[in-house]
């Protein structure tokens, strides 16, 4: 059973209910003897990692791991003597018969009931990851050597299908050295998505280890409100330097957001909601909200303004909802489907006022207009939740 292929596999209890997903396998190195695999790291909701002893595993099938008994929901804490297969073994440089190679994956086998060992290693030479070869554990040396630059290709491959929030959780739990290696190896767009889901401390640490030009590129790929929040946590001089390195068009909305206090509508809002003129049609609106990079909350409403249709816009006219768009013919003009019951809010609205507004009208987003009646952004319910929760909520503290 190759371990990297287990990443993300659903875990089911004896009753057939899914309780989480596999994130890693815990082993203990034993010199020249094959390492023992004595458990799995399972991520359960809400984003908590727990330990599943290998003795509880009753079956590893295609697309499922089944265990028996009960699982301890205490958060997993790695011991000094333990090694994580995916987090720490993949991408290591090892020696196979005096030849230097890179670890692509490792395989474990059940040598007797409820006893598993790492028995084989998939390795490749140079950059030919598509041509790995499998060798026995006893043919490999070098797993016990701390390496300055371990690489990240194998670990990233095991994370490839994860949602950004799940990858952020996995990254958060890696040792600091590996976290930085992975971050440096990710492309700008993927790293931006992951950074948006990390705690502020991790965000600052990763951004600080990147070259300034690369850090600016990643900030450009982030949502402007998330980039503004991150820059707001940095020292003023560092934030100013990064803003100066960003493309002026990408930096402009971030600069505007930084002028508002963080716990106000202006500080929380996204400056890139879906905006169309009243002469647009329902078909155009539906095409815009189909964009895969929009969150459900942002895609739930279309804001209608006079040109220009980028924030800050021309005069704000109103909002129409996704449900209304589905009920009207595609050729209907957006000016005819405006909801007259929704009033916009101002940028200075406080966090409690914004939360009350969304709850009172059962909305997932609210338009934000300035004193000139220009649309400057929209506050979504996920923006509000991020600010209502404790600052360290992503750290997943014990209840």
Per-residue pLDDT of 242-256, as tens digits, reads 999 999 999 999 999
| Element spanning 247, H or E | none
Q: Which pLDDT band holds residue 149 (cuts at 50, 70, 90)?
A: low
Distance, CA of 1 to CA of 4 (rounded, Å): 9
Backbone angles phi, psi at 288, to 5 degrees: -65, -45
Most confident of 72-76, 173-177, 282-286, 340-344: 282-286
Spatial contact of 258 and 232, defined as CB atoms under 8 Å apart: yes
Region 60-74: mean pLDDT is 87
Region 217-243: mean pLDDT is 95
pLDDT at 399: 46
Lowest mean pLDDT among 125-139, 202-216, 288-302: 125-139
Q: Is the pLDDT of residue 344 over 60?
A: yes
CATH of 275-386, picked from 3.40.50.150, 3.30.420.270, 3.10.580.10, 1.10.340.30, is: 3.10.580.10
Q: Is the pLDDT of residue 191 over 80?
A: yes
pLDDT at 398: 47
CATH dotted code for 3-141 = 2.30.30.240
pLDDT at 29: 87
Distance, CA of 95 to CA of 36 (rounded, Å): 21
b/e 275-294 (16+ beta carbons within 10 angstroms → b): bbbeebbbeebeeebeeeee
Region 131-160: mean pLDDT is 77
DSSP 8-state assignment for residue 88 = I
Strands (E), the chain: 10-12, 18-30, 33-44, 48-53, 57-61, 64-67, 83-84, 93-96, 99-112, 115-124, 133-136, 140-141, 275-276, 301-305, 316-321, 365-369, 375-380
Distance, CA of 235 to CA of 214 (rounded, Å): 18
Distance, CA of 351 to CA of 371 (rounded, Å): 19
pLDDT at 395: 60
Q: Is the pLDDT of residue 295 over 60?
A: yes
Domains 187-259 and 275-386 share a fold: no
Region 168-193: mean pLDDT is 87
Spatial contact of 386 and 295, defined as CB atoms under 8 Å apart: no
CA angle 128, 134, 139 (to 5 degrees): 110
Q: Which pLDDT band holds residue 151 (cuts at 50, 70, 90)?
A: low
Cα–chain center distance at 235: 24
Q: Per-domain residue ranges for the chain?
A: 3-141, 187-259, 275-386
Judging by DSSP bridges, how do beta strands 99-112 and 275-276 pair with one another?
Answer: unpaired
Distance, CA of 285 to CA of 390 (rounded, Å): 36
Spatial contact of 35 and 118, defined as CB atoms under 8 Å apart: yes
Q: Is the pLDDT of residue 30 over 90?
A: no
Q: Is the pLDDT of residue 146 over 60?
A: no
b/e 381-399 (16+ beta carbons within 10 angstroms → b): bebbebbeeeeeebebeee
With 0-12 / 13-18 / 19 or more C-beta atoms within 10 angstroms meaning exposed / middle / buried, residue 199 is middle
Spatial contact of 276 and 307, defined as CB atoms under 8 Å apart: no
Per-residue pLDDT of 309-341, as tens digits, reads 999 999 999 999 999 999 999 999 999 999 988
Distance, CA of 151 to CA of 135 (rounded, Å): 21
Q: Which pLDDT band holds residue 384 (cuts at 50, 70, 90)?
A: very high
pLDDT, mean over the chain: 90
pLDDT at 182: 86
Q: Is the pLDDT of residue 396 over 60?
A: no
Distance, CA of 178 to CA of 225 (rounded, Å): 28
pLDDT at 330: 96
Per-residue pLDDT of 104-133, as tens digits, reads 999 999 999 889 999 999 999 876 666 789
Q: Is the pLDDT of residue 293 over 90?
A: no
pLDDT at 192: 95
Q: How many residues does the chain have?
A: 399
Lowest mean pLDDT among 28-37, 58-67, 146-155, 329-338: 146-155
Distance, CA of 46 to CA of 389 (rounded, Å): 14
Distance, CA of 312 to CA of 36 (rounded, Å): 60
CATH architecture for segment(s) 187-259: Alpha Horseshoe (1.25)
Distance, CA of 162 to CA of 43 (rounded, Å): 12
Percent of the residues in the chain that have a pLDDT greater than 70, as a whole number: 94
- Tokens representing 107 are 């395989």
Residue 41 has a CB neighbour count (10 Å cut-off) of 23
Q: Is the pLDDT of residue 61 over 90?
A: no
Work out the angle between the directed axes of helices 248-258 and 212-221 (0-180°, nearest 10): 80
- Tokens representing 309 are 């249709």
Cα–chain center distance at 121: 29
Work out the angle between the directed axes of helices 188-195 and 212-221 (0-180°, nearest 10): 70
Distance, CA of 165 to CA of 217 (rounded, Å): 21
Work out the angle between the directed axes of helices 200-209 and 164-172 (0-180°, nearest 10): 80
């Amino acid at each position: 059973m190759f371990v990297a292929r287990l990443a993300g596999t659903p875990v089911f209890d004896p009753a057939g209910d899914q309780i989480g997903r596999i994130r890693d396998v815990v082993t203990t190195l034993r010199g020249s003897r094959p390492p023992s695999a004595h458990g799995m790291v399972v991520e359960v909701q809400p984003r908590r990692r727990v330990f599943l002893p290998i003795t509880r595993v009753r079956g590893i099938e295609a697309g499922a791991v089944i265990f028996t008994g009960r699982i301890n929901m205490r958060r997993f804490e790695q011991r000094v003597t333990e090694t994580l297969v995916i987090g720490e073994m993949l991408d290591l440089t090892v020696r196979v018969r005096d030849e230097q190679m890179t670890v692509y994956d490792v395989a474990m086998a059940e040598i007797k009931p409820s006893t598993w060992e790492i028995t084989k290693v998939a390795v490749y030479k140079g950059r030919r990851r598509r041509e790995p070869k499998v060798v026995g554990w006893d043919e490999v040396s070098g797993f016990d050597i701390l390496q300055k630059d371990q690489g990240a290709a194998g670990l990233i491959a095991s994370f490839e299908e994860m949602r950004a929030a799940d990858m952020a959780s996995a990254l958060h739990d890696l040792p600091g050295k590996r976290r930085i290696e992975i971050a440096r190896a990710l492309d700008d767009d993927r790293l931006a998505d992951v950074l948006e889901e990390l705690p502020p401390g991790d965000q600052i640490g990763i951004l600080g280890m990147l070259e300034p030009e690369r850090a600016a590129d990643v900030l450009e790929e982030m949502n402007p409100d998330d980039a503004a929040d991150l820059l707001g946590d940095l020292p003023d001089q560092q934030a100013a330097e990064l803003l100066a390195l960003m493309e002026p068009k990408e930096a402009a909305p971030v600069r505007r957001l930084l002028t508002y206090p963080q716990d106000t509508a202006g500080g929380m809002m996204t400056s890139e909601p879906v905006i169309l003129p009243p002469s647009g049609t329902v078909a155009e609106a539906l095409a815009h909200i189909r964009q895969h990079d929009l969150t459900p909350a942002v895609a739930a409403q279309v804001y209608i303004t006079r040109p220009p249709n980028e924030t800050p816009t021309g005069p704000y006219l109103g909002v129409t909802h996704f449900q209304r768009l589905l009920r009207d013919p595609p050729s209907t003009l957006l000016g005819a489907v405006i909801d007259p019951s929704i009033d916009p809010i101002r940028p200075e609205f406080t966090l409690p006022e914004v939360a009350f507004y969304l709850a009172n009208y059962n909305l997932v987003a609210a338009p934000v207009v300035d004193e000139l009646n220009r649309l400057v952004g929209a506050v979504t319910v996920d923006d509000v939740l991020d600010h209502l929760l404790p600052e360290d909520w992503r750290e997943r503290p014990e209840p």
